[in-house]
């Protein structure tokens, strides 16, 4: 224990220790005992050095000793006198928890080192995760340590204590109770917490005139609205892509940002496996306005402006009914009647899709995106029902709660706020002053008493009378239910770094209670009788497993209200679009709706298509751009709904002509250090009436241009055999779709790797959708720094794992593939030969290793790397790492200094950890699957496999030796250890050659 | 005088290597005078300029060491650019010096004598300028010494497979031998300066550096042997250094680098650029110091002929690269070469062609290769072109290699430019100091090639060439600097002034 306790801020170090004791107190194994031992209030710092003070400091040392704080101890530190159970310094512990995301919740397993959560993995038991995650989840661990989070409650910008805040909240609650809640509104996020939902119910009971409104800038409101139309209640469709032989997407990016994406990718990718015997490869048609990540996986993709898709959808519904010989309800048929004429290509596609679906006996799924009107969503409820997909690919479950959400709701709230009928607004998470529709966002700040609960002082927090600092999901007790109802406990991995409280705790204070988060959660699940036999046992199990067993909602049946659906369709048809140009709004790939604006990993994560970082653009199709005479980076004025925004243009192949894609979430004005002056706020273009698609828009060249920060500049393969591709039909006829590997001669004597392990990796391009989860997982695992917009502009990004994007075919309407790329660990590594100081060498197991201590930075290795996967520390990127961020660092991975080269290590720290465990168990060899690299673990598509190539039974060896396995640049005879598996597409023969 | 030189350059009859009807003493006076005269204001101005530029270099390198390589324009695809371009550029320039002093010495090309000293100095200063880059282009400059095989506690040897390590040996050997060679050649001249020294300090300092030279026969014998041995040692270095530098590229697997033609191509290019630099500098120096009689048009013309030859060789190399790229059937290599000529860096590529291949072809015309302004301009063009050649090889090969997703476009930063510019500051500072403080022309060697030094020369045509120094060996002819030795004559001058000079000399001897 010679290391200093972790110093967060030197001047307030005493206070920090108290937080740390708190952490210790709340660590799962000790939480209960300790709370009992030290009753409430006893944990306050006594003055002077008392016995309790001594114990406290000792506790702090225990909890924080051994952290990577390379400083001389400033205070007396004491080693463990009795080791806490389970804690072995140097060995991580894993705790299960969960996190709400994208209108659902995902189960997680979090790696902690000596009390610091450092890495998030998916929980394999949780149906929303199955072990995988996405980039936002991966990056949220960085948000936890964000030094720009608010550090205390604030009253009009002045720091206050939680005591002050509690006094205020209680009084606010008491006043509201007296008025029966009149004039009070609570604005919630898609929080998914049954505890919070129960408290909101309690609030409404106590204050019946209060209003609870849900708002998400990119939520599932259209789906909800459609269900209300079709079924009269907000039933939630839960899709099972694993059962769908045919998938049709109508403007839905269900693999990246709509619905339960992690689950979707997993199930979808499972059906893209051409080697699967039980279920054949699926076929995927995408009709969409922007080129989405889902669209890149499509076998057939048609680009069509969002406002034109309903017409195609109506025709499709009719064709499906006709082809499958099923009847749609009469009201719907009549409403559809006379669907507008489609152009020949669309007609052909629609007919082919319908014929394809008709053959599948209900094993089909038509996913409608949020940019489509509710009528289209409702229509496909009817279609799913008619073709027998309900129960097969679609399950309807009851909604999580009855709170209404959506642009209309918040617009109504905005009106009331303007009118003054609502004077008290509690914003429970979220940042409506930034991302609410343009017609509402000013109204939010009009509330007489605005209370903002959030992790950061953002636009809303700044305007609020009171800002209450919220605990991050990784530091709070809570609970969540995912889309299908599966419940999970959110358990803290660390005591709140800045003393934040959870939504539930804040509501508790507001309602006059005193319970803490832990008690609230327990109380709320104690009530869930159906799940609980022995509460203590079951609660512990739920904590351990990360979910409540069998807690998913049962499937519901509901009658379809055909008349209402028909009416909705008619109403939709009656609306004529203004003009041919449209603006479509997507969540920003970096910040979602602005919430991750201060997250450097996400800001620097290249978006999946354009590879843009640090900013946002107006994407235009090549033809639209030509018409305007703009090229990448030229500034354009986009006007919609009476507002004009100037932002750089980006020419996006595959976008529908006449569609302008604008992302919302950049250009935050009140934000931390990372997000400052990044991007343009486009929120003013978006109104509650034109929430996802705006018509009657215009775009003009503004003059001037900016440099875009993109990580890739060239998107063509130049005919090089990098991504090999074949059709499913061809593959079935002859699986050897890639050239047979050749044996090349070597000048040097070749090293023999037959003995021991031979680590290798396979990446299945048929499965990979290009979602970037791996890339951020790698960043989190390997302490990879960010380089900022300027660094990206100079092509100096440090990502060990990058996602290459290539377009093929017609510039206007291309197809596209993505290819994950990182060090392929060549057996004849060209980098090793040329390093003058032998800093990069080969391990006996075939790893191409970097010895950072030895590297002097000649960069010759990187020049000689044909894959260009080596990354150089041009500056001391980690020098200014903020203390809090250091807590995120993985202690098993060296933090690299300036002037050294680095690159993918195949997660050598994980290999070594597994080896140590195996050795402890007396085994010489590791078992297949014992080492899981960070990228592999995160990949929702299970495209990445890692293991021992010498073990012929291992998954990776079988895959690498399979007919689809090929190595990049094989003719160089560098012998990569990473193999790619050829991409297989499954085009419809009827549309071939079309 | 130019015309005189031309007239005398007739077949069957060699042009005199020293013009201006000088005698031995005149040579001594001309060369030593530069060193002994008062510092001229123009020299001070030039030195001030050079030192200012040198300060830019020091500032740039200081910032580089303090902040990191990020201040340059390098990126994740182009990890070497102006740094290694500058390195190869300077190393290449150095080659002329060694070639002139060693190879031409072995081939008894006597015309080398008036330019070899300056060319050797140029070599050393160029190598010093070049050495900036291998040291400072590494990420952790404080560990640059790890490149040397120094025994250490880690028991780590460098990687002997790496061409960069070969570079270290090649360059350090080259620098050592060049300095030795230069210094050995300087010893007799330093002794001359010592003997002419008017102050105590000067005489002591020069006395130390002239190693007790007495001009005795034994001295001359040892000197000649040493010089010959060093010339022998240097000769392979002329070929090996740039061969090894070219291995930095040829041994790699990058298309555009991985080419077997590189060694001869680089050596030819190095000599080409070196001679161009010598011409540029000599044209200026001979004018500035009135050395027209020693560094004659004939010398410059000879160098221009070499420039023409090597320039043509370089052009051939450029062409054959294309042939091989096509004939080799390697699609990546083919692309690399098409990309060079027609890709984003085509401007650099065609600059290279225009400067290196087209412009020296003008030297086919005698009028051009003997015209001072023309050769100066062309030599500058060649220097520019050779910089671009290295830039083209390094950057265009790297910026678009195997995987198109990594393709980038390299743009230099201010500090790339300032570092390269600053290296000229170092070079010119050293060169100016050299011109001022050391004999810029090898006094003893020039005397050796003067007609007076040749006992059999001038039967008939050198009317005044007496036989009274017939007993002198060529070697001893050089030993005039020891004033007691009787060196004399230069009596081909029949003008009055020359006669006066002779008289003066007689007087002084008397």
Q: How confident is the model at residue A991 (pLDDT cuts 50, 70, 90)?
A: confident
Fold of the domain built from segment(s) A725-745+755-985: Alpha-Beta Plaits (3.30.70)
Q: How confident is the model at residue A90 (pLDDT cuts 50, 70, 90)?
A: confident
Q: Rounded to whole angstroms, how far apart are CA atoms B336 and B342?
A: 10
User: Is a pLDDT exceeding 60 seen at residue A29?
Assistant: no
Q: Rounded to whole angstroms, how far apart are CA atoms A452 and A120?
A: 28
Residues 851-910 of A with CB under 8 A from B: 854-860, 862-864, 866-868, 870-876, 897-901
Chain B interface, best mutation among A717, A842, A868, by max B CB count within 10 A? A868
Within 13 Å, how many C-alpha atoms sit on residue A15's CB side?
Answer: 11
Per DSSP, helices labelled H in A420-466 are: 432-435, 438-444, 459-463
Asked if B172 reaches chain A (Cβ–Cβ under 8 Å), the answer is no
CB contact under 8 A, A863 and B252: yes
Closest chain B CA to residue A831:
B252
Domain assignment present for B300: yes
Asked if A714 reaches chain B (Cβ–Cβ under 8 Å), the answer is yes
E strands present in B1-149: none
Pinpoint the residues of chain A covered by CATH 3.30.70.20: 725-745+755-985
Provide CB contacts within 8 A for A598, sequence distance 6+: A143, A146, A148, A456, A671, A672, A673, A674, A675
Closest chain B CA to residue A901:
B139
Both tokens of A554, joined, read 């049962």
Q: How confident is the model at residue B218 (pLDDT cuts 50, 70, 90)?
A: very high
Both tokens of A484, joined, read 């299908």
Domain assignment present for B507: no
Q: How confident is the model at residue B61 (pLDDT cuts 50, 70, 90)?
A: very high
**H or E element that contains A709:** strand A709-710
- Round the average pLDDT of chain B to a whole number and report it: 83
Q: What is the pLDDT of residue B484?
A: 41
User: Is a pLDDT exceeding 50 seen at residue A30?
Assistant: no
Domain assignment present for B477: no
Q: What is the pLDDT of residue A6?
A: 46
Q: Give how far B36 is from chain A: nearest CA, Å.
A: 45
CB contact under 8 A, A864 and B254: yes
Domain A154-219+402-480+496-530: state its class: alpha beta
CB contact under 8 A, A873 and B139: yes
Q: Give how far B396 is from chain A: nearest CA, Å.
A: 12
Per-residue pLDDT tens over the stretch A721-767: 899 999 999 998 998 888 888 888 877 788 888 888 999 999 999 99
- Round the average pLDDT of chain A to a whole number and report it: 87
Q: Rounded to whole angstroms, how far apart are CA atoms A970 and A31?
A: 56
Closest chain A CA to residue B69:
A874
User: Is a pLDDT exceeding 50 seen at residue A636?
Assistant: yes
E strands present in B378-460: none
CB contact under 8 A, A713 and B251: no
CB contact under 8 A, A856 and B70: no
User: Is a pLDDT exceeding 50 seen at residue A331?
Assistant: yes
CB contact under 8 A, A872 and B76: yes
Torsion, CA A537, CA A540, CA A545, CA A549, rounded to 10 = 40
Domain assignment present for B475: no
Closest alpha carbon to A578 in A661, A698, A692 = A698
User: Is a pLDDT exceeding 80 seen at residue A57?
Assistant: no
Q: Rounded to whole angstroms, how far apart are CA atoms A559 and A757?
A: 59
In degrees and rounded to multiples of 5, residue A709 shows phi and psi of: -95, 95
Per-residue pLDDT tens over the stretch A708-728: 999 998 888 888 889 999 999
Domain assignment present for B278: yes
Within 13 Å, how many C-alpha atoms sit on residue A526's CB side?
Answer: 7
Count other Cβ atoms within 10 Å, centred on residue A124: 13
Chain B interface, best mutation among A790, A799, A803, A836, by max B CB count within 10 A? A836
Per-residue pLDDT tens over the stretch A455-467: 999 999 999 999 9
Q: Rounded to whole angstroms, how far apart are CA atoms B109 and B115?
A: 12
Q: Report the pLDDT averaged over residues A811-830.
A: 92
Per-residue pLDDT tens over the stretch A558-595: 888 989 999 999 998 888 888 889 999 999 999 999 99
Please report, for the domain that includes residue B74, its CATH number. Answer: 1.20.1630.10
Of A854, A863, A972, the CB nearest to B79: A863
**H or E element that contains A807:** strand A802-808
Q: Rounded to whole angstroms, how far apart are CA atoms A109 and A544?
A: 10
Q: Rounded to whole angstroms, how far apart are CA atoms A660 and A654?
A: 12
Pinpoint the residues of chain A covered by CATH 3.40.50.740: 154-219+402-480+496-530
Q: How confident is the model at residue A14 (pLDDT cuts 50, 70, 90)?
A: very low
Q: What is the pLDDT of residue A12?
A: 40
Asked if B66 reaches chain A (Cβ–Cβ under 8 Å), the answer is no
Q: What is the pLDDT of residue B95?
A: 82
Across the A:B interface, residue pairs with CB atoms under 8 Å apart total: 166
Of B75, B140, B248, the CB nearest to A796: B75
Structural domain total, chain B: 1
Q: List the end-to-end C-alpha distance of chain B, in Å, as a whole number.
A: 33
Domain assignment present for B256: yes
Closest alpha carbon to A470 in A424, A417, A509, A525 = A509
Pick the CATH number of A236-397 from 3.40.30.10, 3.10.450.50, 3.40.228.10, 3.40.50.2300: 3.40.228.10
Q: Rounded to whole angstroms, how far apart are CA atoms A112 and A890?
A: 9
Q: How confident is the model at residue A70 (pLDDT cuts 50, 70, 90)?
A: very low
In degrees and rounded to multiples of 5, residue A61 shows phi and psi of: -65, -40
Residues 262-321 of B with CB under 8 A from A: none
CB contact under 8 A, B77 and A795: yes
Chain A interface, best mutation among B399, B404, B407, B416, by max A CB count within 10 A? B404
Residues 807-836 of A with CB under 8 A from B: 819, 821, 830, 832-836
In degrees and rounded to multiples of 5, residue A662 shows phi and psi of: -125, 135
Of B158, B253, B409, the CB nearest to A972: B253
DSSP code for A103? T
Count other Cβ atoms within 10 Å, centred on residue A919: 11
CB contact under 8 A, A714 and B404: yes
Residues 121-150 of B with CB under 8 A from A: 137-141, 143-144, 146-147
- Domain of B148 in residue numbering reads as 2-453
Per-residue pLDDT tens over the stretch B305-339: 999 999 999 999 999 999 999 998 888 999 999 99
Q: How confident is the model at residue A931 (pLDDT cuts 50, 70, 90)?
A: very high
Closest alpha carbon to B256 in B391, B353, B358 = B391
What three-state secondary structure class fits A229?
A: helix
Let me know if domain A578-710 sits in CATH 3.40.50.2000: no
Contact A965, A980 (CB under 8 A): yes
Q: Rounded to whole angstroms, how far apart are CA atoms B60 and B51?
A: 14
**H or E element that contains B86:** helix B82-98
Residues in chain B: 510
CB contact under 8 A, B76 and A795: yes
Domain assignment present for B474: no
Q: How confident is the model at residue A53 (pLDDT cuts 50, 70, 90)?
A: low
Q: What is the pLDDT of residue B473?
A: 41
Of A836, A854, A874, the CB nearest to B164: A836
Q: What is the pLDDT of residue B208?
A: 93
- CA B432, B437, B439: angle at the middle one, nearest 5? 100
Q: Rounded to whole angstroms, how far apart are CA atoms A569 and A229?
A: 11
User: Is a pLDDT exceeding 70 seen at residue A933?
Assistant: yes
Q: Which residue has the higher pLDDT, B202 or B448?
A: B202
Beta strand pairing status for A901-902 and A698-705?
unpaired
Residues of A in contact with B140 (CB under 8 A): 855-857, 897-900
Per-residue pLDDT tens over the stretch A364-378: 999 999 999 999 999
Asked if B253 reaches chain A (Cβ–Cβ under 8 Å), the answer is yes
Q: Rounded to whole angstroms, how far apart are CA atoms A127 and A132?
A: 10
Chain A interface, best mutation among B63, B69, B405, B414, by max A CB count within 10 A? B405
CB contact under 8 A, B404 and A806: yes
CA torsion sign, A175 to A179 to A185 to A190?
A: positive
Distances (CA, A) of A925 to A755, A761, A847: 11, 18, 16
Closest chain B CA to residue A722:
B403
Distances (CA, A) of A675 to A141, A646, A665: 17, 19, 11
Closest alpha carbon to B401 in B63, B45, B78, B179 = B78
Q: Which residue has the higher pLDDT, B303 or B8?
A: B303
Q: What is the pLDDT of residue A339?
A: 58
Q: What is the pLDDT of residue A10?
A: 42
CB contact under 8 A, B68 and A874: yes
Q: What is the pLDDT of residue A425?
A: 92
Q: Report the pLDDT averaged over residues A917-946.
A: 92
Pinpoint the residues of chain A covered by CATH 2.40.40.20: 578-710
Q: How confident is the model at residue B467 (pLDDT cuts 50, 70, 90)?
A: very low
Q: How confident is the model at residue A900 (pLDDT cuts 50, 70, 90)?
A: very high
DSSP code for A917? H
Least confident of A336-340, A491-495, A539-543, B425-429: A336-340
Per-residue pLDDT tens over the stretch A507-560: 999 998 889 889 999 888 887 766 667 888 888 888 888 888 888 899 988 888
Contact A29, A491 (CB under 8 A): no
Q: How confident is the model at residue A115 (pLDDT cuts 50, 70, 90)?
A: confident
Q: Rounded to whole angstroms, how far apart are CA atoms A917 and A906?
A: 18
Closest chain A CA to residue B257:
A864
Pinpoint the residues of chain A covered by CATH 3.40.228.10: 236-397
Per-residue pLDDT tens over the stretch B269-278: 998 998 898 8
Contact A838, B156 (CB under 8 A): yes
Per-residue pLDDT tens over the stretch A665-679: 999 999 988 888 999
């Amino acid at each position: 224990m010679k290391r200093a306790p972790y110093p967060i801020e030197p001047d307030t170090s005493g206070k920090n220790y108290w937080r740390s004791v708190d952490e210790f107190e709340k660590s799962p194994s000790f939480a209960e005992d300790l709370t009992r031992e030290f009753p409430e209030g006893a944990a306050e710092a006594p003055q002077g050095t008392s016995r309790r003070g001594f114990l406290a400091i000792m506790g702090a040392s225990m909890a924080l000793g051994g952290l990577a704080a390379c400083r001389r101890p400033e205070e007396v530190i004491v080693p463990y006198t009795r080791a806490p159970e389970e804690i072995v310094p140097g060995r991580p512990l894993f705790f299960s928890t969960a996190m709400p995301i994208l209108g659902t919740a995902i189960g997680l397993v979090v790696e902690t080192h000596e009390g610091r959560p450092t890495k998030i993995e998916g929980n394999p038991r949780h149906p929303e995760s199955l072990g995988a995650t996405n980039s936002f989840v991966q990056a949220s661990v960085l948000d936890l340590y964000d030094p720009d989070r608010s550090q205390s409650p604030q009253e009009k910008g002045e720091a206050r204590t939680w005591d002050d805040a509690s006094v205020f909240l209680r009084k606010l609650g008491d006043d509201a109770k007296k008025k029966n809640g009149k004039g009070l509104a609570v604005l919630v996020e898609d929080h998914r917490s049954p505890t919070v939902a129960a408290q909101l119910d309690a609030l409404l009971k106590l204050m019946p005139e209060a209003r609870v409104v849900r708002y998400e800038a990119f939520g599932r409101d259209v789906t909800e609205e459609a269900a209300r139309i079709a079924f009269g209640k907000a039933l939630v469709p839960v899709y099972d892509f694993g059962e769908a032989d045919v998938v049709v997407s109508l403007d839905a990016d269900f693999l990246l940002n709509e619905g339960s994406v992690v689950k979707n990718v997993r199930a979808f990718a499972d059906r893209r496996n051409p080697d699967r015997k039980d279920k054949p490869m699926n076929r995927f048609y995408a009709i969409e306005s922007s080129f989405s990540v889902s669209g890149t996986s499509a076998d057939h993709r048609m680009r069509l402006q969002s406002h034109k898709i309903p017409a195609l959808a109506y025709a499709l519904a009719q064709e499906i009914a006709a082809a499958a010989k099923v009847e749609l309800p009469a009201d719907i048929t009549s409403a559809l009647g006379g669907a507008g004429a489609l152009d020949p290509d669309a007609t052909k596609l629609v007919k082919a899709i319908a014929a394809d679906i008709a053959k599948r006996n209900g094993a089909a799924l038509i996913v409608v995106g949020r940019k489509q009107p509710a009528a289209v969503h409702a229509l496909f409820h009817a279609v799913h029902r008619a073709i027998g997909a309900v129960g097969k690919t679609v399950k309807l479950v009851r909604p999580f709660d009855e709170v209404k959400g959506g642009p209309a709701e918040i617009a109504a709230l905005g009106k009331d706020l303007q009118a003054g009928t609502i004077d008290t607004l509690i914003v429970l998470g979220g940042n409506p002053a930034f991302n609410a529709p343009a017609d509402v966002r000013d109204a939010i700040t009009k509330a007489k008493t605005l209370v903002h609960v959030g992790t950061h002082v953002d636009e809303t927090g700044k305007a609020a009378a009171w800002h209450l600092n919220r605990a991050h999901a990784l530091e709070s007790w809570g609970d969540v239910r995912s889309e299908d109802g599966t419940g999970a406990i959110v358990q803290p991995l660390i005591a709140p770094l800045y003393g934040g409280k959870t939504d539930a705790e804040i509501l508790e204070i507001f309602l006059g209670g005193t319970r803490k988060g832990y008690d609230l959660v327990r109380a709320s699940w104690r009530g869930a009788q159906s799940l609980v036999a022995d509460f203590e046992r079951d609660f512990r199990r739920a904590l351990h497993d990360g979910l409540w067993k069998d807690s998913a909602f049962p499937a519901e049946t509901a009658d379809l209200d055909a008349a209402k659906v028909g009416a909705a369709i008619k109403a939709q048809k009656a609306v004529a679009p203004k003009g041919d140009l449209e603006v479509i709004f997507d969540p920003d790939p970096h910040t979602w709706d602005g919430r991750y604006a201060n997250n450097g990993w996400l800001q620097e994560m290249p978006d999946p298509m354009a590879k843009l970082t640090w900013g946002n653009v107006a994407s235009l199709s090549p033809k639209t751009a030509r018409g305007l005479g703009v090229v990448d980076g030229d500034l354009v004025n986009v006007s919609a709904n009476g507002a004009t925004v100037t932002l750089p243009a980006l020419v996006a192949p595959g976008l529908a002509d006449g569609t302008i894609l604008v992302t919302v979430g950049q250009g935050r004005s009140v934000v931390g250090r990372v997000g400052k002056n990044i991007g343009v706020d486009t929120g003013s273009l978006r109104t509650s009436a034109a929430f996802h698609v705006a018509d009657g828009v215009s775009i003009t060249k503004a003059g001037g241009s900016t440099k875009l920060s993109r990580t890739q500049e060239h998107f063509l393969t130049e005919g090089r055999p990098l991504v090999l591709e074949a059709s499913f039909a061809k593959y079935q006829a002859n699986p050897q779709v890639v050239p047979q590997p050749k044996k090349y001669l070597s000048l040097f004597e070749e090293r023999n790797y037959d003995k021991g392990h031979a680590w290798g990796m396979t990446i299945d391009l048929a499965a990979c959708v290009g979602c970037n989860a791996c890339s951020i997982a790698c960043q989190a695992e390997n302490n990879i720094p960010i380089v900022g917009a300027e660094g990206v502009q100079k092509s100096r990004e440090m990502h060990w794992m990058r996602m290459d994007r290539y377009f093929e075919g017609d510039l206007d309407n291309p197809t596209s593939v993505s290819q994950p790329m990182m060090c392929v660990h060549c057996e004849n590594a060209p980098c090793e030969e040329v390093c003058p100081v032998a800093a990069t060498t080969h391990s006996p197991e075939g790893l191409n290793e970097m010895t950072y201590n030895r590297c002097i930075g000649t960069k010759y290795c990187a020049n000689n790397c044909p894959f260009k996967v080596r990354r150089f520390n041009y500056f001391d990127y980690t020098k200014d790492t903020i203390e809090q961020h250091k807590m995120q660092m993985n202690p098993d991975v060296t933090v690299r200094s300036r002037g050294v080269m680095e690159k993918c290590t195949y997660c050598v720290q994980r290999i070594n950890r597994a080896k140590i465990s195996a050795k402890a168990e007396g085994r010489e060899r590791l078992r297949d699957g014992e080492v899981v690299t960070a990228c592999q673990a995160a990949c929702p598509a299970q495209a990445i496999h890692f293991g021992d190539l010498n073990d012929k039974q291992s998954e990776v060896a079988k895959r690498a030796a399979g007919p689809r396995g090929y190595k990049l640049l094989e003719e160089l005879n560098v012998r990569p250890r990473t193999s790619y598996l050829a991409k297989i597409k499954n085009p419809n023969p009827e549309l071939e050659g079309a | 005088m130019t015309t005189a030189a031309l007239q005398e350059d007739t077949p069957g009859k060699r042009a005199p290597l020293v013009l201006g009807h000088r005698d031995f003493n005149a040579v001594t006076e001309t060369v030593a005078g530069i060193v002994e005269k008062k510092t001229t204001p123009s020299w001070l101005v030039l030195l001030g300029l050079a030192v200012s530029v040198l300060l830019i270099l020091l500032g740039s390198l200081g910032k580089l060491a303090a902040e990191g390589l990020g201040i340059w324009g390098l990126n994740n695809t182009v990890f070497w650019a102006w740094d290694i371009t500058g390195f190869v550029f300077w190393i290449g320039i150095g080659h002329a010096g060694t070639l002139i002093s060693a190879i031409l010495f072995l081939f008894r090309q006597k015309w080398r004598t008036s330019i070899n000293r300056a060319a050797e100095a140029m070599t050393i200063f160029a190598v010093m300028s070049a050495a900036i880059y291998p040291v400072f282009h590494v990420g952790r400059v404080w560990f640059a010494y790890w490149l040397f095989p120094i025994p250490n506690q880690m028991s780590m040897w460098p990687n002997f497979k790496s061409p960069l390590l070969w570079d270290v040996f090649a360059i350090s050997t080259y620098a050592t031998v060049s300095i030795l060679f230069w210094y050995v050649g300087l010893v007799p001249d330093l002794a001359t300066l010592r003997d002419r020294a008017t102050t105590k300090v000067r005489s002591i300092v020069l006395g130390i550096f002239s190693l007790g030279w007495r001009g005795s026969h034994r001295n001359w014998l040892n000197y000649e042997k040493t010089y010959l041995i060093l010339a022998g040692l240097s000769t392979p270095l002329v070929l090996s250094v740039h061969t090894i530098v070219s291995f930095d590229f040829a041994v790699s697997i990058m298309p555009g680098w991985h080419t077997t033609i590189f060694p001869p191509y680089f050596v030819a290019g190095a000599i080409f650029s070196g001679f161009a630099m010598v011409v540029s500098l000599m044209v200026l120096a001979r004018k500035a110091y009135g050395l027209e009689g020693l560094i004659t048009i004939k010398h410059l013309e000879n160098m221009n002929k070499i420039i023409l030859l090597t320039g043509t060789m370089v052009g051939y190399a450029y062409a054959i690269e294309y042939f091989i790229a096509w004939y080799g059937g390697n699609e990546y290599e083919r692309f690399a070469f098409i990309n060079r000529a027609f890709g984003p860096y085509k401007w650099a590529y065609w600059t290279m062609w225009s400067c290196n291949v087209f412009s020296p072809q003008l030297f086919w015309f005698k009028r051009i290769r003997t015209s001072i302004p023309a050769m100066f301009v062309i030599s500058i063009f060649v220097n520019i072109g050779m910089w671009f050649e290295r830039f083209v090889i390094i950057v265009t090969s790297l910026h678009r290699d195997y995987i198109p997703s990594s393709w980038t476009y390299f743009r230099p930063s201010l500090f790339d430019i300032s570092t390269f510019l600053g290296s000229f500051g170092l070079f010119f500072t050293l060169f100016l100091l050299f011109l001022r403080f050391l004999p810029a022309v090898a006094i003893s060697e020039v005397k050796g090639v003067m007609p007076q030094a040749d006992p059999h020369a001038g039967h008939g045509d050198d009317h005044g060439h007496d036989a009274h120094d017939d007993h002198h060996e060529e070697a001893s002819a050089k030993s005039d600097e020891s004033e007691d030795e009787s060196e004399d004559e230069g009596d081909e001058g029949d003008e009055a002034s020359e006669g006066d000079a002779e008289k003066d000399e007689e007087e002084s001897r008397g």
